[in-house]
Amino acid sequence: MTASFPVLGFDIGGTKIAVCLGCSDGKIIASGRVDNKERHPDDVLPELVALGRQLLADAGMTSTDLTAVGISAPAPHDIPGGRITQPTNMKKWVDVPIRDYLRDAFATTAYMDNDANAGALAEWFFGTGKKCRNLLYLTMSTGIGGGIITNGRLVHGHDYLAGEVGHFSIDPDGPQCNCGIRGCYEAFCGGRAMAQRMQRELAGQPDHPIVRYANGNYDAIDMICLEKAVRDGDAYAVALWDEMCRRNAQGIGGLINIFNPEMIVLGTIAWAAGDLFMTPLQQYLPQFCWPVQLRGCRVIPSGLKRRIGDYAGISVALNYLYEQDRFQPWQEQ
């Protein structure tokens, strides 16, 4: 294919699902959202189809104009089978054949991949990582997920589980991760793990700045509360933030040595906190990887930022077309 063509993308989340109509050249034609908080897929799936058809109609198109449908889905899932099996924040979504459902509804080919891979593809096709042959993307939010592109191809692994970068142990004597392994990278740096740690360590301290930023609700303590306290200069917050940045450098430095990428693109915390995060991270990185590897690798925040969800599903579809030699990225540049 040499001309731009339309693709419909679905980015599945626990509270909302983004539906986006876009083109292979990166143009977003239209997008919308469907509520998914504690809802059953039998109720949600028809709404996804209805919204997709509405976006097409508003653009003067029908399903026959689509080249493909792409789905970005949270784990656990069965990617070859196109099924969402039961994500932790979507308890009612049990063994849902979403790929085939959308394929049949729009009468076109449909493809599914995990959300971290979709983020990597979005940054690769349309974001900061455009044209890189060797790139890693890290989600850096509630947890730490990843997508790996090596020699111009997305890495899936034998069981389609490649990219679980948050779950290699960086300290066997470290805290128990929510996944069950002790000392995971995510157990030190993931947003949920950090929040759980602050809730434990600040118990009985209602006047601490972090607790005040959560309006006294310990369950509401999160990374935003921590960042605000760091900017205020609170000693506990500053020390915890510094430790978190150093542990991130340890995890990312290991990935640099293993994969020798030309770029690592970092998600939420990197662009949301900016230099407060990136400066100490860059300062600590030389402790954890070889100089030659580090010199050849740019570690930078996501270029798409909040827009990554709009590109996620679209990029999944485009990658499968790319792997079939039916789409060539960056052809018009």
Using an 8 Å Cβ cutoff, are 19 and 7 in contact? Answer: no
The SS3 assignment for 65 reads helix
Using an 8 Å Cβ cutoff, are 171 and 158 in contact? Answer: no
Same fold, 6-115+312-323 and 128-303: yes
1 pLDDT exceeds 70? Answer: no
**Interatomic CA distance for residues 93 and 53, integer angstroms:** 23
The CATH fold of domain 128-303: Nucleotidyltransferase; domain 5 (3.30.420)
Model confidence pLDDT, tens digit, residues 98-139: 999 999 999 999 999 999 999 999 999 999 999 999 999 999
Model confidence pLDDT, tens digit, residues 10-69: 999 999 999 999 999 999 999 999 999 999 999 999 999 999 999 999 999 999 999 999
- 93, amino acid identity: W
Please tell me whether the overall predicted TM-score, pTM, comes out greater than 0.85 for this model. Answer: yes
Model confidence pLDDT, tens digit, residues 265-284: 999 999 999 999 999 999 99
Tokens encoding 253: 């430095």
Average pLDDT over residues 178-207: 96
Nearest to 124 by CA among 104, 100, 151: 151
- 46, amino acid identity: P
**Interatomic CA distance for residues 255 and 1, integer angstroms:** 35
**Interatomic CA distance for residues 38 and 36, integer angstroms:** 6
Please report where in the chains the tokens 């369950």 appear, as a residue.
219
Average pLDDT, the chain: 96
**Interatomic CA distance for residues 305 and 326, integer angstroms:** 28
Domain ranges of the chain: 6-115+312-323, 128-303
Model confidence pLDDT, tens digit, residues 301-331: 999 999 999 999 999 999 999 999 999 998 6
Buried (b) or exposed (e) across 24-35, using 16+ Cβ within 10 A?
bebeebebbebe
Give the contacts of 83 (CB within 8 A, at least 6 positions apart).
Answer: 77, 95, 96, 97, 98, 99
**Interatomic CA distance for residues 162 and 37, integer angstroms:** 28
pLDDT at residue 178, rounded to an integer: 87
Helix boundaries (H) for the chain = 41-58, 98-106, 115-126, 185-189, 191-201, 209-213, 223-232, 235-259, 268-273, 275-284, 291-295, 308-323
CA-based torsion, 31, 92, 219, 240: positive or negative: negative
User: Could you tell me the CATH superfamily of domain 6-115+312-323?
Assistant: ATPase, nucleotide binding domain (3.30.420.40)
Q: What percent of the chain has pLDDT over 70?
A: 98
- CA–chain centroid gap for 20, Å, is 17
Q: Which helix (H) or strand (E) holds 7?
A: strand 6-12
Helix boundaries (H) for 59-202 = 98-106, 115-126, 185-189, 191-201
Instruction: List 299's β-bridge partners, or say none.
Output: 264
